[in-house]
Amino acid sequence: MTTPGGPSTALHRPGTVGEAVAALAAEARAGRPVELLAGGTDLVPALRTGTRPPAAIVALRRVLELRVRGAGADTLTIGAGVTYTELAGWSLSPGLAATSRVVGSVQIRNCGTVGGALGSANPRGDLLTFLTAAQAEVLLTSEDGSRAAGLDDFLSAGRLPGELVTAVRVPRPSGPQTYLKIGGRQAAFPSLVSCALLVDRVRERVCCAVGGVAARPWRVAEAERLAAADVDWSTGTAPAALARRFGELAAAGVRAASPLGEDPRHPLEYRVHAAGVLAARAFARCLTARSAPRRESAP
Ligand SMILES: Cc1cc2nc3c(=O)[nH]c(=O)nc-3n(C[C@H](O)[C@H](O)[C@H](O)COP(=O)(O)OP(=O)(O)OC[C@H]3O[C@@H](n4cnc5c(N)ncnc54)[C@H](O)[C@@H]3O)c2cc1C
The CATH class for the domain spanning 65-171 reads alpha beta
* Residue range(s) occupied by CATH 3.30.465.10 in the chain: 65-171
pLDDT of 291: 44
List the residue whose alpha carbon is closest to atom 23 of ligand 1.
116
Residue whose CA lies nearest to ligand 1 atom number 18: 117
Strands (E), the chain: 10-12, 34-37, 56-59, 69-71, 75-79, 137-142, 145-150, 164-171, 177-182, 193-200, 205-211, 218-219
Fold adopted by 177-287: Enolase-like; domain 1 (3.30.390)
Q: How far apart are the C-alpha atoms of 132 and 195, rounded to whole Å?
A: 10
Residues of the chain with pLDDT under 50: 1, 291-299
Smallest CA separation from ligand 1 atom 52, residue: 41
CATH for the stretch 10-64:
3.30.43
Measured CA angle at 108 (ends 7, 220), to 5 deg:
120
For the chain, give every residue range classified as CATH 3.30.390.50: 177-287
CATH 3.30.43 domain extents, the chain: 10-64
Pocket of ligand 1 (CB under 6 A): 35-43, 45, 60, 80, 103-104, 108, 111-113, 115-117, 119-120, 122, 125-127, 164-165, 188-190
Q: In a mutational test of the pocket of ligand 1, which residue from 41, 48, 132 has the highest number of ligand atoms less than 8 Å from its CB?
A: 41
Pocket test for ligand 1, best of 36, 66, 77, 140 (most atoms within 8 A of CB): 36
Determine the pLDDT at residue 299. Answer: 35
Atom of ligand 1 nearest to the CA of 183: 8
Q: What is the pLDDT of residue 128?
A: 97
